[in-house]
């Protein structure tokens, strides 16, 4: 219970830190560039919308900094993120709502897949150390994971789409399609997701393989693994339940820690493939100096990562009895 | 004298064992060789490339030839020359950011471990918060606010987002050192706290600090290139990321000069890879159980 409370506390603190960063950054910048953005809103928005934007960016407002801060927190929690300059007159909330499913589908699924596959490969190659699997797969993926995400994206775009015309070069689906639960639309979405998904998979899997393999090797030397082997348990059971279950714990912590890194890379992958997710919107925002959109997306990406980290915490709770025994 | 012996001699003295370990490790040797090549390109670009990288005086989008080894851009600049001259800024950013981030990790990580108590709780929480916040979106937001701010802003942003992983690792190692006898002895001798940290604790952590520098440098290479690629770098600079930005803006891949985008990409991957290889090698040197299994000699 103490463990759960501590992790929830961490969630709240990090969220607060992000909100505060968002509030402070525009005010710290010399000559507050958000003023230029507000000028472009002039005459297009009014009343409470304008007021909320003024509070969020510290432009033209008579309120003290502290009361601005609390108004800003209140607005954010009620989901009032302001209006997007890029997609005017849509609100930031509407833009985000249309983008989030693409990112969850692409980045979310691929990341989980990379983690599961990487952990399995790492487990097997640590278990069969020096075997064919161990001498081929880990080195290959360690090398591919040193590649920058956007470079792998550019390269696969060049090969599979521009040179060989096997796969579409960008966007989430074909413009000529009607959106709906039809087979042609769904297959189209899947085909468009192959290249970006493979890019993220190939570049993120190496880290999981390497750490899992190394954990596995240290765990295999433990007495309880030797005993399990000595008792004559089936090798599969020793590998999964005795060595693997213990070796995966540091990998899970690593997952929580590296998630931010994977998400960062995924942003650039979305950019290269013009995939209509959060990362692409973020960079659209950058190009149009749309600070309301950028800051909301930063906040949202952080929340997504935090939720994933919390989920990993609960998995750890299920796998590691030590986290449960603390009272 | 073989390369290995040469390296051995070069580095004997203060860290002879380390040099021998590096020379005996294939990953370390590969990484070091790559790094030396890039260092040469960064220091003496004029020896390798004779064209002015910015001059728009050649035929546009030319294919590779003897006079333009990698062809030209659609502005009529020599790609090979840009590629060679781009090394300096990319390597410079990696080393400066790696170094500064490591200093910050050492300060925060070791202080947290050594002071313990409330200081440790506060600093550890601070570290973990920074570790979990996805760095790149944050970097993008800050860089977007300080557009055209030059390299100093870029460095500051990358250091602020790149120190946390190292701080956490250094803290846990310093924690394991805390109750060793030699530190107790130093305390009994009445040494001052900063002396104990600088002269007693830090030397025992050298290999981890070096590993952290390498890790932070990899981060800097990739993050800086990513920022430059989306147009948030120093617009007047000449770097691989900036090359990629212009190549992407002019649709180099579709327009038939793919080398414009591929060469800087390869260089970024190789530079990041060189730091990463050295980092893995340090892991193996420090932890012998991870070394590849030796086959029986026949």
The percent of residues in chain B predicted with pLDDT above 70, rounded, is 85
Out of A249-263, B3-17, B105-119, B170-184, least confident range: B3-17
Q: Does pLDDT of B298 surpass 60?
A: no
Kindly state whether residue B54 falls inside one of the protein's structural domains.
no
Show the domain range for B112.
68-290
Closest CA to B207 of B22, B11, B6: B22
Q: Does pLDDT of B13 surpass 60?
A: no
Kindly state whether residue B9 falls inside one of the protein's structural domains.
no
Kindly state whether residue B57 falls inside one of the protein's structural domains.
no
Which residue from B minimizes the CA distance to A303? B133
What's the pLDDT at B104? Answer: 94
- Mean pLDDT rounded to a whole number for chain A: 80
Asked if A84 contacts A92 with a C-beta cutoff of 8 angstroms, the reply is yes
Q: Does pLDDT of B230 surpass 50?
A: yes
Kindly state whether residue B209 falls inside one of the protein's structural domains.
yes
Segment of A296-310, B53-67, B273-287 carrying the highest mean pLDDT: A296-310
Asked if B134 and A261 come within 8 Å (Cβ–Cβ), the reply is yes
Cα distance from N-terminal residue to C-terminal residue, chain A: 7
Q: How confident is the model over A193-227, as pLDDT tens digits?
A: 888 888 888 888 888 888 888 888 888 888 888 88
Out of A185-189, A295-299, B135-139, least confident range: A185-189
B101 band by pLDDT with thresholds 50, 70 and 90: very high
| pTM for this entry | 0.80
Kindly state whether residue B76 falls inside one of the protein's structural domains.
yes
What 3-state class would DSSP assign to A146? coil
- Mean pLDDT rounded to a whole number for chain B: 80
Kindly state whether residue B259 falls inside one of the protein's structural domains.
yes
Q: How confident is the model over B132-171, as pLDDT tens digits?
A: 888 888 888 888 887 666 788 889 889 988 898 889 888 8
Is the CB of residue A259 less than 8 Å away from at least one CB of chain B?
yes
Give how far B192 is from chain A: nearest CA, Å.
34
- DSSP secondary structure string for all residues of chain B: --HHHHHHHHHTTTTHHHHHHHHT-HHHHHHHHHHHHHHHHHH-HHHH--S-TT---SPTTPPP-SSSTT-B-TTS-BHHHHHHHHHHHHHHHHHHHHHHHHHHHHHHHHHHHHH-HHHHHHHHHHHHHHHHS-HHHHHHHHHHHTTT--HHHHHHHHHHHHSHHHHHHHHHHHHHHTT-HHHHHHHHTT--HHHIIIIIIHHHTHHHHHHHHHHHHHHHHHHHHHHHHTT-S-TT---HHHHHHHHHHTTHHHHT-THHHHHHHHHHHHHHHHHHHHHHHHHHHH-GGGSPPPPPP-
Taking every pair of C-alpha atoms in chain A, what is the biggest distance, in angstroms? 79
Segment of A95-104, A154-163, B111-120 carrying the highest mean pLDDT: B111-120
Residue of A150, A154, A298 lying closest to B253 (CB–CB):
A154
Out of A76-90, A196-210, A300-314, B143-157, least confident range: A76-90
Which residue from B minimizes the CA distance to A134? B292
Kindly state whether residue B8 falls inside one of the protein's structural domains.
no
How many domains is chain B built from?
1
- The burial of A143, by beta-carbon neighbours within 10 Å (0-12 exposed, 13-18 middle, 19 or more buried), is given as middle
Q: What part of B 115-144 touches A (C-beta under 8 Å)? A: 125, 128-129, 131-138, 140-142, 144
B7 band by pLDDT with thresholds 50, 70 and 90: very low
Segment of A147-156, B98-107, B179-188 carrying the highest mean pLDDT: B98-107
Segment of A163-177, A283-297, B245-259 carrying the highest mean pLDDT: A283-297
Spell out which residues of chain B touch residue A266, defining contact as CB-CB under 8 Å: none
Q: A with B: how many residue pairs have Cβ under 8 Å apart?
A: 145
What's the pLDDT at B205? Answer: 82
Kindly state whether residue B47 falls inside one of the protein's structural domains.
no
Out of A166-180, A313-327, B84-98, B217-231, least confident range: A166-180
B95 band by pLDDT with thresholds 50, 70 and 90: very high
What's the pLDDT at B159? Answer: 92
How far is Cα B169 from Cα B105, in angstroms, rounded to an integer? 9
Out of A10-24, A34-48, B174-188, least confident range: A34-48
Residue of A34, A129, A264 lying closest to B136 (CB–CB):
A264
What's the pLDDT at B108? Answer: 92
What's the pLDDT at A180? Answer: 67
Is the CB of residue A160 less than 8 Å away from at least one CB of chain B?
no
Which CATH number is B227's domain given?
A: 1.10.3720.10
- Taking residues B243-261, report their average pLDDT: 79
B98 band by pLDDT with thresholds 50, 70 and 90: very high
């Amino acid at each position: 219970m103490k463990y759960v409370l501590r992790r929830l506390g961490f969630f709240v603190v990090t969220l607060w830190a992000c909100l505060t960063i968002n509030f402070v950054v525009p005010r710290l910048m010399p000559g507050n560039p958000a003023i230029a953005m507000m000028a472009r809103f002039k005459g297009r928005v009014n009343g409470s919308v304008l007021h909320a934007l003024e509070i969020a960016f510290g432009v033209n407002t008579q309120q003290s900094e502290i009361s601005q801060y609390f108004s800003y927190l209140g607005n954010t929690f009620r989901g009032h993120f302001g209006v997007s300059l890029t997609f005017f007159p849509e609100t930031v909330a509407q833009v985000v709502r249309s983008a989030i499913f693409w990112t969850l589908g692409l980045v979310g699924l691929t990341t989980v897949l990379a983690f599961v596959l990487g952990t399995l490969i790492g487990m097997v190659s640590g278990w069969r150390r020096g075997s064919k699997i161990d001498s081929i797969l880990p080195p290959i993926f360690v090398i591919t994971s040193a590649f920058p995400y956007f470079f792998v994206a550019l390269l696969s775009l060049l090969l599979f789409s521009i040179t060989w015309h096997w796969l579409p070069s960008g966007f989430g689906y074909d413009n000529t399609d009607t959106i709906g639960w039809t087979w042609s639309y769904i297959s189209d979405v899947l085909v468009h997701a192959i290249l970006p998904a493979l890019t993220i998979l190939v570049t993120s899997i190496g880290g999981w393989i390497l750490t899992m393999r190394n954990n596995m090797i240290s765990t295999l030397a433990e007495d309880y693994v030797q005993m399990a082997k000595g008792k004559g348990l089936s090798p599969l059971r020793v590998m999964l339940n005795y060595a693997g279950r213990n070796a995966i714990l540091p990998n899970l912590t690593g997952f929580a820690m590296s998630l931010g890194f994977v998400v960062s890379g995924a942003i650039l992958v979305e950019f290269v493939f013009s995939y209509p997710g959060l990362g692409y919107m973020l960079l659209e925002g950058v190009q149009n100096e749309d600070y309301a959109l950028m800051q909301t997306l930063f906040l949202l990406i952080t929340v997504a990562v935090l939720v994933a980290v919390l989920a990993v915490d609960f998995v750890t709770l299920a796998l590691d009895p030590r986290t449960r025994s603390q009272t | 004298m073989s390369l290995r012996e040469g390296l051995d001699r070069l580095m004997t003295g203060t860290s002879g064992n380390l040099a021998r370990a590096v020379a005996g490790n294939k990953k370390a040797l590969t990484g070091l060789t790559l790094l030396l090549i890039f260092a040469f390109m960064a220091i003496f670009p004029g020896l390798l490339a004779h064209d002015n990288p910015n001059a728009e005086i050649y035929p546009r989008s030319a294919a590779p030839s003897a006079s333009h080894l990698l062809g030209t851009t659609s502005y009529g600049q020599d790609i090979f020359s840009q590629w060679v001259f781009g090394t300096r800024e990319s390597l410079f950013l990696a080393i400066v950011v790696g170094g500064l981030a490591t200093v910050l990790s050492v300060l925060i990580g070791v202080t947290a471990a050594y002071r313990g108590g409330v200081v440790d709780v506060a600093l550890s929480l601070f570290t973990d918060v920074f570790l979990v916040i996805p760095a790149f979106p944050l970097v993008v937001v800050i860089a977007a606010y300080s557009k055209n701010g030059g390299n100093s802003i870029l460095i500051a942003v990358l250091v602020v987002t790149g120190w946390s992983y190292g701080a956490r690792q250094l803290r846990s190692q310093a924690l394991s050192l805390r109750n060793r006898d030699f530190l107790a002895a130093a305390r009994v001798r009445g040494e001052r706290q900063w002396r104990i940290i600088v002269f007693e604790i830090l030397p025992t952590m050298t290999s981890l600090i070096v590993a952290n520098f390498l890790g932070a440098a990899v981060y800097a290479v990739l993050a800086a290139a990513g920022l430059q690629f989306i147009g948030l770098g120093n617009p007047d600079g000449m770097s691989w990321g900036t090359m990629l930005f212009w190549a992407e803006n002019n649709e180099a891949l579709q327009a038939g000069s793919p080398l414009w985008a591929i060469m800087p990409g390869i260089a970024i991957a190789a530079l990041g890879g060189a730091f990463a290889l050295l980092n893995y090698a340090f892991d193996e040197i420090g932890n012998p159980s991870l070394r590849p299994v030796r086959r029986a000699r026949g």
